[in-house]
């Protein structure tokens, strides 16, 4: 089994003090064979980068601009994220889609912009509870995936097509009600099939992660599924003990 990827999305949580407490506890806990990524709020990226040093933990942004530079007050370009040591950037998180009205088109632009800057996008997809109950899950997720490839097709640049997809059902985020491992696995297979319709080579190798109320108690059951290449963790990533236990489970399964 290829190594799993465990990503901490701190969202808009934390403080300088919290960074000083949490990061050493994660960096000092070595889990060979698992790729760990920390995505703190942008304001803390530089200090987290300094604390990570040469440890086998990677840094990611939680968002980036659709643009490269210019008069876009408050925005952060993917190149700037690279400047402070990021290898990854989360794009299309459902909180950005819902609270900041990011459309599939906007997410597609961010996707291409991130790869042009040499970052690895972590592309979030997932349906709301209402969409699931109306039987729209496949349609919604296919649309989210298609928009990434549409944006690529519209771009004239040649990029290194390295990215991750995180399946995060919106109804499972921050609710304590995770998807079942079976449901997550079935949806991952559906996602891989859709990617294959666009690019068979990418579909063979791309890692698809699950996110939504993952914690140290349920993580192992997700990692038993070969289709689940890792996890994107919100709440539990703010607790070093929980996050490290999840990393350990990812290594052992």
- Hey, which residues does 125 pair with through a beta bridge? 167
Query: Does residue 134 sit in helix, strand or coil?
Result: coil
Please, what is the end-to-end C-alpha distance for the chain in angstroms? Answer: 9
Nearest distance from residue 124's CB to ligand 13P, in Å? 7
> For residues 79 and 140, which CB has a smaller minimum distance to ligand 13P in the complex?
140
User: Do 121 and 165 meet the contact criterion of CB atoms below 8 Å apart?
Assistant: no
Of residues 62 and 147, the one with the C-beta less far from ligand 13P: 62
Clarify whether 127 is annotated catalytic. no
Q: How far is the CB of 9 from ligand 13P (least distance, A)?
A: 4
Among 168, 188, 216, 245, the one annotated catalytic: 168
Q: In the bound complex, what is the minimum distance in angstroms from residue 203's beta carbon to ligand 13P? A: 23
Give me the sign of the Cα torsion angle 27, 28, 29, 32.
positive
Q: Ramachandran region of residue 157, left (φ > 0), alpha (ψ -120 to 50) or beta? A: beta
| Smallest distance, ligand 13P to C-beta of residue 63, A | 11
The contact set with ligand 13P (CB under 6 A) reads 9, 93, 168, 173-174, 211-214, 232-236
Closest-approach residue to ligand 13P (CB): 234
CA-CA-CA-CA dihedral for 218, 221, 226, 231, to nearest 10: 0
Those residues whose C-beta lies under 8 Å from the C-beta of residue 156, and which sit 6 or more positions away, are: none
Based on the residue annotation, tell me whether 93 is a catalytic residue of this protein. Answer: yes
Q: For ligand 13P, give the closer residue by CB, 93 or 194.
A: 93
Cβ-based nearer residue to ligand 13P, 97 or 194: 97
Closest separation in Å from C-beta 181 to ligand 13P? 15
Q: Find the catalytic residue in 79, 93, 102, 127.
A: 93
In whole angstroms, the minimum distance from the beta carbon of 213 to ligand 13P comes to: 4
Q: How far is 171 from 84, CA to CA, in rounded Å?
A: 33
The rounded distance, in Å, linking the Cα atoms of 29 and 24 is 8
Residue number, 147 or 210, with CB nearest to ligand 13P: 210
Nearer of residues 79 and 94 to ligand 13P, judged by Cβ: 94
Determine contact, residues 216/236, Cβ cutoff 8 Å. Answer: yes
**Residue 192: exposure state from Cβ atoms within 10 A (0-12, 13-18, ≥19):** middle
Decide if 50 contacts 84 (C-beta within 8 A): no
54: enclosing H helix or E strand: none
By annotation, the residues acting in catalysis are 93, 168
């Amino acid at each position: 089994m290829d190594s799993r990827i465990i990503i901490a999305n701190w969202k808009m949580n934390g403080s300088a003090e919290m960074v000083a407490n949490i990061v050493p506890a994660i960096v000092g806990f070595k889990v060979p064979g698992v790729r760990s990524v920390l995505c703190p709020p942008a304001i803390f990226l530089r200090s987290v980068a300094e604390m990570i040093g040469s440890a086998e933990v990677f840094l990611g942004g939680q968002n980036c601009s659709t643009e490269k530079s210019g008069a876009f007050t408050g925005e952060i370009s993917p190149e700037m994220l690279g400047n402070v040591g990021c290898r990854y950037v989360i794009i299309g998180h459902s909180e950005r889609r819902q609270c900041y009205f990011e459309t599939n088109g906007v997410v597609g632009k961010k996707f291409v912009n991130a790869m042009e800057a040499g970052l690895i996008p972590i592309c979030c997809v997932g349906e709301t509870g209402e969409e699931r109950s109306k039987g729209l899950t496949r349609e919604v997720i296919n649309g989210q995936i298609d928009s990434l490839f549409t944006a690529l097709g519209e771009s004239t640049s040649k990029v290194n097509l390295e990215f991750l997809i995180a399946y995060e059902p919106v109804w499972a985020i921050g609710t304590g009600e995770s998807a079942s491992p079976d449901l997550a696995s079935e949806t991952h297979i559906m996602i891989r099939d859709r990617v294959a319709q666009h690019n068979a080579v990418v579909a063979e190798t791309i890692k698809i992660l699950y996110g939504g109320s993952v914690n140290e108690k349920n993580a192992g059951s997700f990692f038993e599924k070969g289709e689940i290449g890792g996890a994107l963790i919100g709440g539990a990533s703010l607790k070093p003990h929980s996050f490290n236990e999840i990393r350990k489970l990812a290594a052992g399964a």
